[in-house]
Chains A and B, each alone.
Chain A
Amino acid sequence: MEMLKKIFKACYDGIFEGTSKNMRIALYVLFGLTALFIIFAIQILFWGLGYTDMDNNFTWGAWIIGDLGLVGLGGGAFTTGYILYIFRVDKLRPIINSTVLIGFMCYLFTFVFLLFDLGQPLRCWFGFAYPNWGKGVYPASMLTEVFFCLSFYFCILIVELIPVILEHKVLIKNKYIAAIAHYMHLLMWTMAAGGTFLSFFHQGSLGGGMWGALYAKPVWYSHSFFYMAIVAAMAGGTSFMTLIPYIAGKIMNKQYVPMETFQLLARISGFIFIFYFIFRLYDLYMYTFVNAPMGGREFFDMWGGYYGAWMLVLELLLFAGPLVLLNIKKFREQEKFMVLGLACAVGAIVTSKLSVLLHGFAAPNFPWKGFTAYMPTIQEWSITLGCFAVMILIYMAFVKWFPLFPHLEHDEHDAHH
């Protein structure tokens, strides 16, 4: 009993020591969400998905939105890694650890969400044991592709994350560990290359191919969605990776990453956004004039109910943020405009994922049926927000105890000399 009390006190102090009042409140909220998450996770896993608002028409909901969003925004990890290790743009080095961690968490929680979304999570290994392969290496099912690709990529992310963990000031003292960490750093480019290769596939399949392959659903069927999703991931992901350490820095009142790194990544994001924007317009054109009519529908007739055309308008408006604010140097170099641009970029990606899912499922399948709606239940909210809370907590833990921003310590170290 005494032992437990001691452990609890140690943990509590470790977390809450020296925290301001606002921080304490925030931590309470996050831990509260985590607790709710655990409670409802048990309910869903043991008593079934009947407790969600998903149904036979609205097949997927909050968790797949979470998956799409996390994987899409987590795409910043492979983009940043590729630019740093293959293109050797060293200015991005200060942000890479944070990016790798965020990427890792995004994919980890994608798997967590998927676990809840499966009706039979204990059978998830069937996707590997009985995969739906088509001819040769071309998978018949996009989900088979997703299963394998995501799993391999997750392994790569783990490998990329290990050096960050090993460089903990206690662990790094061991010479074996230091050696491993050093060699891993040297070979990290292979991981980056492999990760990019895999990412092109699963970003395309999870973000777009999954939907574009559904030939019987004119609301989604498209040949180009697969490719557009890759570009979207690169564009939005980089913005996301920039935004997070920036926000963390603002909260803790520390310059975690030099401003020029932020601006560089923002500039890259804005640049890719131009391509994404053009691609999106082409995509809308194809839907309106080719894809939907082939399926006997009018594309704009399929926007209605709660998730009407306003979603599309919002998405296109949000594009303006990165297109203008991140590309034009004058705006990019002003901090508040840069942040606005980054936020709009992330917003555009999130809106596009929301619209794919919500508007896609709401569209009626039969001419006499109307638009349907989706109101997540407390279970879905708790699990989704709880996972986000855990992600924030892990990030905060890493910021506090692991060298997420090693250049800071080097700078301090150098400063002492």
Chain B
Amino acid sequence: MKKIERKDFLKLGGGAVLGGLSGWVFSGAPFLGFQWLAEWTQDQYVPVKGFEKYAQAVSDSCPAGCKVSVRMIGERAVKIESKEGVCPSCQNALQLTYHPERISTPLKRKGDKGDGKFVPVSWDEAIKEISAKMNSLIAEGKANSIAAINKNESLNGQMMEKLIRSAGSNNVYYEPSLKSLTSSALGGYIKYDFKNTDYVLSFGAKLVEGWDSSSDMQKVFTDWKAKGTKIVQADTVCSMTASLAAEWVPVKPGTEAVLAFGIANYLITGKRLNSSGEEFGKWSQLIINKFPLAKVASYTGVSEDRIKKIGDDFSKAKNPVAVAGKGAYGVSASSAEIIAVYCLNTLVKSSSATLMKNSAVSYTSEFAGLDSFIKSGNFSMLFLNNSDPVYKSVLGEDLKKKMEKAFVVSINPIMNDSANYADIILPSLSFLETATPENQAVVVNFKESKDAKEIIIALSKAVDKTKNTFAFSNGIDSFKISGKESASGARFSFNVDKIKSEFDALDKKFAGNAEYPLFMIPVEAPLVGDGDGLAFPYVLKSIDPTVFYREKLLVQINRETGKKYGLSEDESIVIKSERGKLSKVYVHLTDTVAPDTVAIPLGFGHESYTVYGSEKGVNPKKIMAADVDPLTGTADWWSTRVKIS
């Protein structure tokens, strides 16, 4: 055998390697390798497939009752669709239903209130504890110390009212809404016939941005566009409504009421019109004396001529209507303002504003409204029916203190600032998971939550006094007792005695203040509203960088005002009012805001509203004006005197 020498070995080895390599290349292995590499870079979650179908649902948690069509893939709801508009809370229903921070079982507080530490308990335990407390309070004759705060007048709100009243308490409140404010001021809420009006005089009501029923108003707006209805918007900020209106009447912050007085003054004295309301004579005397046109012009910044022209246009229109309720989702109006604006309707004998009432909703309770209750009321037990007064009321901090001493039960699907101070949290469902007489539940309840209506029924049955409040035990039967709307039949009264103090207050507010030279008013970002939207990631995706940018909340200030105070874009400032201060807000200069005004977005600054909603910006309500209106029992928080540094 021939000896294998080193160089032969090298030659053999080299040949083997070369042969192997070319074999590997030509086998296609490297290409397969590249393909594997490309596929490996596509590392991502793949949504679970399923059979596609559409299901119908009706929302029973918003007063508008939006009808939606839900696209399902298998058991998963993936899209909310609707031929007509849906309100944002219904549009966000998917994000609520599938929110990872949804409360899945009843929770009981562990640790101090506000710490956010809860442990799961069973439904039986929870109901037992709550009903035991209620029974004992009722037995001690302290039924009136059981209070409830409803989010809105939807069916479960009506049922909560029924439950609390049948327990013997007169302390049922609704979070301030257009309906509650106008009902308290006028004896009924206003049903507007927007379809047949040709002239709309809006006093700060952001008609297309979420005011009243947002889905209805979008339809109304489409109608108006088609018909050529004239919209006149009195507003401090040139928001969308003002921009889309035929005429924007810029008014100084919070002076919409004064403008209403001025126009009323002109219509009464200049056009000799009369109103059918009670105490009209007394009222008009006061208005004419206290708010002559010159004063109105100086307070509002609207010239006398313009006031007269608006009055003329308004009274000459075929079917005019005046609208009150400043704001969009977060509505604010003093009773004097609501009365004055309604007065304008009566002066021109408008047929487009009728006072209504709902058979299942009463806004008359122990206290005139929620804020007066928070201020002066006392309670040993409090039910929060998906409401968030700690966040939304300007007296939230006071409420917190009272809640710390009471037994608080909160019914809501996700945590919010108020539920954080509860003793027991009962998780409720989104409307997609509840059935209505027209359709089944679209999404099967995948947690231990229950329909809010059924929770209320269960509570009622567990408390002796309220055992027979509801003649049924299923949520779906509760639609039978849903409240009916009808004309309120109330006689419109100017209630002069109650509201005359407000005239003096207005005088004082707008006369001038050296210490707090500016006014702070709220603005709202689309979808965020007055706070509900912030827990949803797709809402966060829509927020404009002039509102909230890189974790900084921006307030809008007029450019001239900015120059006066030496402010530059994006500068950090501190806003101080009599009630406190807000720091870590930043400046955005724009002329869409009137001079000497700070327009601050609502909806931010939650303390515990899921990881998506918390720790973002500040909550301006903490420092907003807290004078409680005598008729509506709600703080008149719209315009607050502030200074900036």
Contact = CB atoms under 8 A, between A and B. Distances in A.
B34 A120 contact: no
A26 B38 CA distance: 42
Contacts of A125: 34
B37 interface: yes
A123 B43 CA distance: 13
Contacts of A123: 37-38, 41
B40 interface: yes
A122 interface: yes
Interface secondary structure of B, over-half rule: helix
Nearest to B545: A369
Interface string B35-48: 00110110000000
Contacts of A120: 41
Interface string A93-127: 00000000000000000000000000010110110
A359 to B, nearest CB: 20
Nearest to B37: A122
Interface in B27-86: 34, 37-38, 40-41
A123 to B, nearest CB: 6
Contacts of B41: 120, 122-123
Interface secondary structure of A, over-half rule: helix
Interface residues of A, number: 6
Nearest to A120: B41
Contacts of A126: 38
Contacts of B40: 122
Contacts of A122: 37-38, 40-41
A326 B41 CA distance: 51
A129 B40 CA distance: 17
A79 to B, nearest CB: 37
Contacts of B34: 125, 129
B186 to A, nearest CB: 42
A3 to B, nearest CB: 27
A120 B42 CA distance: 10
Interface string B115-139: 0000000000000000000000000
Interface in B423-452: none
Nearest to B40: A122
A129 B34 CA distance: 10
Contacts of B38: 122-123, 126
Contacts of B37: 122-123
A123 B40 CA distance: 10
A7 to B, nearest CB: 28
Contacts of A129: 34
B549 to A, nearest CB: 12
A373 to B, nearest CB: 12
A322 B37 CA distance: 49
Interface string A127-143: 00100000000000000
A120 B41 CA distance: 7
B36 to A, nearest CB: 11
A362 to B, nearest CB: 16
Nearest to A119: B41
Nearest to B569: A370
A256 B453 CA distance: 90
Nearest to B38: A123
11 contacts: A120-B41, A122-B37, A122-B38, A122-B40, A122-B41, A123-B37, A123-B38, A123-B41, A125-B34, A126-B38, A129-B34
Given A122-B37, A122-B40, A122-B41, 8 more contacts: A120-B41, A122-B38, A123-B37, A123-B38, A123-B41, A125-B34, A126-B38, A129-B34
Interface of B: 34, 37-38, 40-41
The 6 closest A-B pairs by CB, nearest first: A122-B41, A120-B41, A122-B37, A123-B41, A123-B38, A125-B34
